[in-house]
Amino acid sequence: MRSSTSGLLRVSPPRYDRAMTTPVNLNRYRKDKARAEKRAQASSNAAKFGRTRAEKALDTARSDKAGRNLDGHQIDPAEDTPET
């Protein structure tokens, strides 16, 4: 009598050298991933649009000076009318 498995290779299931790892909380993983994406977007926006306090103060000072110069060069309507 021949055995039915004599010509077939027997494959044993894989052996794991490591013990099973701890379970992963998928909600925590999802939230951590979302936080990391928000941080990356925030740093990208800060590099793209952000200005330092000194830059903002300089722009404010320049616009104030431009406004004062414009007001200083304004023609007074009383001086512009011809006298009769």
Q: How many CA atoms lie within 13 A of 73 on its CB side?
A: 5
How many domains would you assign to the chain? 1
Asked whether residue 39 is assigned to any structural domain, the reply reads yes
Confidence grade of residue 77 (pLDDT, cut at 50, 70, 90): confident
For the cut 80, the answer to whether the pLDDT of residue 13 exceeds it is no
50 falls within a domain: yes
4 is written with which tokens?
């039915």
Residue numbers of the domain that contains 45? 31-70
What are the pLDDT digits (tens) for 20-45?
A: 778 889 999 999 999 999 999 999 99
Q: Does residue 53 form part of some domain?
A: yes
Domain assignment present for residue 3? The answer is no
Q: Is residue 47 situated within a structural domain?
A: yes
What pLDDT was estimated at residue 35? Answer: 98
Domain-located, residue 21: no
Q: Is residue 25 part of a domain?
A: no
Asked whether the whole model's pTM tops 0.85, one would answer no
Nearest to 40 by CA among 51, 32, 30: 32
